[in-house]
Amino acid sequence: MGPFFIKNFTLEQLEQWVHALGEKPFRARQLFRHLYARNISSWSQCSDLSRAFRAQLECSATPDALAISRIDEAPDGTRKYLFRLHDGNFIESVIIPDPPRCTLCVSSQVGCALGCKFCLTGSIGLKRNLETAEIVDQVCQGLRDPELGPRINSLVLMGMGEPLANYDEVVRAIHIITNPNGLMFSHRRVTLSTVGLVPQLRRLGVETPVNLAISIHAADDKLRDELMPVNRTYPLSEIMRACREYPLPPRKRITFEYILLDGVNDSPRQAKQLVRLLEGVRAKVNLIAFNSHPGSHFRTPPMERILGFQDVLRKANLAAIIRKSRGNEISAACGQLGAKTQVENG
């Protein structure tokens, strides 16, 4: 039996818990405000709670679910947090400056079971799902960063793990993060990135209007099968059908993430395949040059090939952005998060 994390509760669940303790319902709203609007790290900071209630909280619940093990900073200002979990596992979160604002990249699992060939996290395998509190607390602790925290205005569930493989915990965390009495992030400033687990994808659009990003990385099943084994379970035809049926709010588009691998998926012919694949979807494409990591045989394409790929998409009237890699020097860029490796390497 692990510790009891109070951040596992939505406001409604917190009201039920407080009632079971014999306290008035308004105490739940007070606790919720302390946990999120004030972002407290100790019950001693809650001076408007009675001493007896604070003593009860000290004995039964902990405000924080994570402990900071290390913080690394890259020359470009990207900051990576290594968090130790209560069971001795580790996860990572990344704060990415984009002056004047910042984006926080959040993990949803310890490791990942999907084994995408270009991703360091996938090479670790899956240790376990994160609890709601462990997801939410990455945001709380990121917001406490003395320099970058006040500038965080966007969240991306693109860290370690596949968010839709931990569906219930992730969606509960999103509800807390976007609650106007919670962390108060707009749905428009929260993006969930998935490889395309179709059953959960169909639920997501109904249960939360956050932004959706699909990690696509190949436009034909044969190559995607090789790069992303999950494609054998949910091939491109099923993913694209789910995308076309997705209840997309007005003026929103689905983002398709495409990591460019030198000589593998970066030719003009493959760019044209991607154009055909995305036909009929309100889409934009994020092109990401592969970020190298130890043990990988993939390479980053030359810039002229990246620009040529982008040009094919733009000539087909597809919005295509080359996403600048941030935090390479501290292994904080896309596909480089591998907390186990970082800990082992000291």
Cα–Cα distance for residue pair 46/1, rounded to 1 Å = 27
- The pLDDT value recorded for residue 291 is 83
Q: DSSP label at 69?
A: E
Closest CA to 259 of 122, 136, 143: 122
Segment 37-79, tens digit of pLDDT: 999 999 999 999 999 999 999 998 989 999 999 999 999 999 9
8 A C-beta contact, residue 288 and residue 334:
yes
Distance CA 182, CA 29 (A): 10
> What percentage of the chain reaches a pLDDT higher than 90?
84
3-state secondary structure (DSSP) of residue 122? helix
The H or E element spanning position 246 is none
pLDDT in the model for residue 15: 95
**Set 92, 131, 162, 169: catalytic member:** 92
Tell me the per-residue pLDDT of 222-233, one tens digit each, with 9 for 90 and over: 999 999 999 999
Q: Is 92 a catalytic residue?
A: yes
Residue 54 confidence (pLDDT): 93
Going by their DSSP bridges, the two strands 283-289 and 319-323 should be labelled as parallel
Q: pTM of the predicted model, to two decimals?
A: 0.94
The answer for residues whose C-beta is within 8 angstroms of residue 270's C-beta and 6 or more apart is: 218, 219, 220, 309
Who contacts 163 (Cβ-Cβ below 8 Å, separation ≥6)? 108, 157, 170, 192, 193, 194
Clarify whether 59 is annotated catalytic: no
Strands 211-215 and 254-260: parallel
All domains of the chain, ordered by start, with CATH?
6-60 (1.10.150.530), 67-344 (3.20.20.70)
- Please name the residues in contact with 282: beta carbons below 8 A apart, sequence gap of 6 or more: 248, 252, 253, 254
d(CA 203, CA 199): 7
Query: What pLDDT is recorded for position 325?
Result: 75
Low-confidence residues of the chain, pLDDT below 70?
1-2, 327-346
Distance CA 290, CA 314 (A): 21
**Residue with the two structure tokens 């470009």:** 76
Give pLDDT, residue 329. Answer: 61
Tokens of 66: 């994570």
- Give tens-digit pLDDT for 238-257: 999 999 999 998 889 999 99
Instruction: Report whether 9 contacts 17 (CB < 8 A).
Output: yes
In whole angstroms, give the CA distance from residue 254 to residue 245.
Answer: 12
